Every structure is written in C-alpha cells, then in structure tokens.
C-alpha cells in the first residue's frame, strides 16, 4: 500500500489554519481504506493520553476527564490514529509520534452540536524542568 500520503497529511496537520482540512484529508485518503485500517498495530502512550486529557479539560471545563481509547500505529511509520471517548463523547485522533503533533476531533452528539477540533503539540522538557500549568 502506498503510504506517501501520510507525509502530505503531516504537512496539512502542522500548517493548516482550518483544522477540518487535515481531518478531511485523512478520511478521504485513509479513513475508508480497509487495507489501511487493518495495517495498524495497537498503540498506547501515556503522553498522548495526557495531550487528549488537556484538550478534554478545556472542552468540558473540568479536571475530571475520563478517556477510553483504541489507537493503532501504522508499522514502519510514526503515524497513529484511532478513536477515543472523552467523558462519554466519541472523538477521532490522528497523531504523528515523531513530531508529537496531533489532532482530536470531538464528534457531535446531536443535531445542534458541531464537531470540535483541537490540535496539540508536545515538547520534551529538559531534565529537572517543571511543566507550566497551560
């Protein structure tokens, strides 16, 4: 399978001002491809969970965030995708582990709600550093 589109997705994820653009690209090029979906291997990372929890705290205005996730990584790449539930709301996640940049798309639960998008970027702190509250 040709995975060269993952590089295009990475660029869109990093550069797009409209966060629907990388999500639509993922859905259009990979999200409906059964072969691609079957390639993934289970992926768990507490750092990724922390990123998602941070977005959940902003969206739900609470520190009590519950995340249930099912992520997979495409072998031979740094690309991770999957679904999760944040306080019982379903969300889709795309993430590049090598650059620590990802997107969470919180799906609507009814007609009156819209999808919510949150991009996150992680940075490694030097040893002995104390993370900020933001």
pLDDT at residue 69 in the model: 87
pLDDT score for 68: 84
- Is 82's pLDDT higher than 80? yes
Q: What is the pLDDT of residues 7-46, one digit of tens each?
A: 999 999 999 999 999 999 999 999 999 999 999 999 998 8
Sheet architecture: strand order including 41-43: 41-43, 67-73, 79-86, 89-96, 101-106, 116-121
pLDDT at 131 over 70: no
Q: pTM of this prediction? A: 0.87
The radius of gyration of the chain from alpha carbons, rounded to an integer in Å, stands at 15
Domain range list for the chain? 5-121
Please state, for a pLDDT cut of 90, what percent of the chain lies above it.
60
């Amino acid at each position: 399978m040709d995975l060269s589109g993952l590089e295009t997705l990475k660029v869109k994820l990093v550069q797009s001002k409209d966060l629907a653009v990388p999500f639509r690209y993922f859905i259009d090029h990979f999200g409906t491809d059964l072969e691609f979906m079957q390639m993934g291997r289970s992926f768990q990372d507490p750092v990724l969970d922390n990123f998602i929890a941070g977005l959940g705290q902003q969206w739900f205005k609470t520190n009590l965030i519950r995340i249930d996730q099912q992520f997979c990584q495409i072998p031979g790449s740094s690309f991770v995708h999957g679904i999760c539930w944040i306080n019982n709301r379903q969300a889709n996640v795309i993430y590049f582990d090598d650059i620590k940049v990802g997107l969470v798309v919180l799906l609507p639960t009814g007609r009156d709600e819209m999808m919510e998008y949150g991009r996150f970027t992680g940075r490694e702190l030097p040893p002995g550093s104390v993370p900020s509250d933001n």
